[in-house]
Chain A
Amino acid sequence: MPTPGFVQRMAELGLNFPAEELDAFESFVTDLERAASFVRKIDRSFAEEPSNVFDPASVALTRTA
């Protein structure tokens, strides 16, 4: 059974899936939230912030070979 809180969160997000799918969905979301908690914990200095936008033409992705 999914946790009551999970069903409530789904409703708030406008998601309405069949009841038999909710356990698997909650499990998938739980793993994604573990990944999100990892990125939340990473410390960065303000000095790094100017490089924070991913740009395929950035220094790291220009021709180096």
Chain B
Amino acid sequence: MTSPHELTIAEAARLIAARKLSPVELTRACVARVKALDGKLNAFILLLEESALAEAAAAEAEITAGRYRGKLHGIPIGLKDIYSTKGIATTGHSALMRDNIPAEDAHTVALLRQAGAVILGKLSTHEFATGGPSFDLPWPPARNPWDLSRMPGGSSSGSGAAVAAALCPGAMGSDTGGSIRFPAAMCGIAGHKPTYGLVSRRGIMPLSFSLDHAGPLCWTSEDCALMMDVLAGYDPLDPGSADVSKPDFSAITPNIKGMTIGAIRHFHEEDDPCDPEVAAAFDASVKTLESLGATVRTISVSPLQHYNDVGNVILRAEAYSIHERHLTRTPMLYGALGRRRLAAGAFLRASDYVSALRHRSRLVAEMAAAMAACDAVITTGWPSAAPELSENAMVRGPMPTMVFNVTGSPALSICNGFTASGLPLALQIAGKPFADPTVLSIGHALERATAFRSMRPAFATEAATAA
């Protein structure tokens, strides 16, 4: 049998349901992986060994008694350390909040617990989901398991690194401009930013109220769908939550024959030219989609920079409104990167923020019109492979991910091959509002049609063998 830590959630769930895999055995394997590898990876801020093993034992007892709760029962999950956990430190990876002990779980954490998931630990993030990678915080930045000298993306950096290195089969992240999809892209895994309003943000440290999304990072799109089936739903206590019926995530299928997919090529060919290997991988994925029976058409929307300008003005204005009190009173409790990224919004005018919101409605309408004749659209996941880990690693052009934070559309990043030097490349798939299962189906189809899911980072296999 495959080692427990190498199982996807779907595979582990089948074995657990059939009582061929013990949740305790699976959790022990993950704990051992964290102890063996995380000294170099820095994906975890806090490993919850004792409580995780107790939760796994409770899950095992329930399942043995015939009370199987579903696909996440007994599955270890890591949480980006901006998700509130009752009685457990939730720091935002910041000295400012290092003593913060929430009185309640985030709504999504409560949903995971209700589904029987095992909370394995709290994961590294860029400070308050924006200030990183930083070297002046109480914990070091996470590293990329494909190459420890490179960044794992961010801000859900620990989530991406932990899943790619098989320290846990699934993790929670948050995404305000790409913070689920960027680490998914750099770490060669699947990361899903749901439709705005589909997953509650209650109990998660905010960065930008109208752009923040909560969602999963997993090895496969199928696993993201399994997590979404638990996470999605209306929460009347999150004002951004949408009171709509939950999409059917059990319906995801690798059969995409007959679908029409729009390819937004000008983002990476004209607006912000990407690395040649990224473009070649994008073209290869178009051919794969066509071989699966989909029709791919080139479509155009506003330039990538327009979406980024609107998104950045909204993000920085809302972030400053959240952090102003601490930035003006105790700025030295932030890292240097967090200080400047969170404080920049102070320089915006009120009318800038309103104007950005005004243009946002126009971009939302534009994207809805562009998608009208399509089932989904594709873009490159990120314009390059993972850069060297440094404070300047995030400084580059406009991001293809921000587009779908501005529009609120569901958007998934999947592994789309590797560079000649072995670093992952990514494809982004986005869809119509609440058509998250369609987006995940396309990701699932591509993963099944390619061999990219058969490769794990060498660090994760070699180091574990040595340990």
Contact = CB atoms under 8 A, between A and B. Distances in A.
Given A39-B356, A51-B361, A32 B331 contact: no
A18 B29 CA distance: 45
Interface in A23-43: 24-25, 28-29, 32-36, 38-40, 42
Interface bin, chain A: 35 or more
Given A35-B309, A53-B357, A16 B432 contact: no
Contacts of A57: 197, 242-243
B313 A56 contact: no
B339 A56 contact: no
Interface string B428-456: 00011111001000000000000000000
A36 B348 contact: yes
B295 interface: no
B306 A38 contact: yes
Contact of A56 (B197, B361, B431): B197
A64 B298 CA distance: 21
Interface in B397-429: 407-408
A40 B240 contact: no
Contacts of A53: 357, 361
Nearest to A16: B331
Given A17-B331, A60-B368, A64-B368, A35 B313 contact: yes
B362 interface: yes
B360 interface: yes
Contacts, number: 133
Contacts of A39: 309-310, 313, 352, 355-356, 358-359
A63 B431 CA distance: 11
B340 A61 contact: no
A21 B340 contact: yes
Interface of A: 9, 13-18, 21, 24-25, 28-29, 32-36, 38-40, 42, 44, 48-49, 51-54, 56-58, 60-65
14 contacts: A13-B328, A13-B346, A15-B327, A35-B308, A36-B349, A40-B352, A52-B358, A56-B240, A57-B197, A60-B408, A61-B242, A62-B433, A63-B434, A64-B433
Given A24-B336, A35-B312, A36-B348, 17 more contacts: A9-B347, A13-B347, A28-B344, A32-B313, A32-B348, A35-B309, A36-B309, A36-B352, A36-B356, A42-B358, A49-B358, A54-B210, A56-B196, A57-B242, A60-B407, A63-B433, A64-B432
Interface of B: 195-197, 210, 240-245, 305-306, 308-310, 312-313, 316, 327-328, 331, 336, 339-341, 343-349, 351-352, 355-362, 364-365, 368, 375, 407-408, 431-435, 438
